[in-house]
Structure 1
Amino acid sequence: MAGSAGNRAAVTPVRIPLIVGGSVKPVVDRVYPLGKAGEALRRLIEDRPFGKVVLAG
């Protein structure tokens, strides 16, 4: 299921049932509060995290 943003529409219908069903879960590297958005952006640019960097409000 690897892909780029360019073909996201083609694979999304396949992914949605897997995510909703709980068999596929996103890998989250770190969660930042909205007030630390700058720090989160630095993490993305400088550290190249393995999983997603999430901003939570």
Structure 2
Amino acid sequence: MGGLLTELGKHLAERRLSLLVLPGALFLAAAFAARTLGHADAVDLDLLVGEVQE
């Protein structure tokens, strides 16, 4: 019974991790864009692309 619970716990941990990775990556990308562009240039995509490529 212990082995079954261990495997179930691993499966749930993997599933939870996969559900958190994509939203976390999107949040970090949005935070990076907000920090890089600031209020004045919030919609300047060319500036953001230029900053990322540097």
Scaled by the length of structure 1, the TM-score of the pair is: 0.29
Would you tell me which structure has more strand in proportion to its own residues?
A: 1
Greater Rg over alpha carbons, structure: 2
The structure with higher relative contact order (CA 8 Å, sep 6+) is 1
Scaled by the length of structure 2, the TM-score of the pair is: 0.30
Would you tell me which structure has more helix in proportion to its own residues?
A: 2
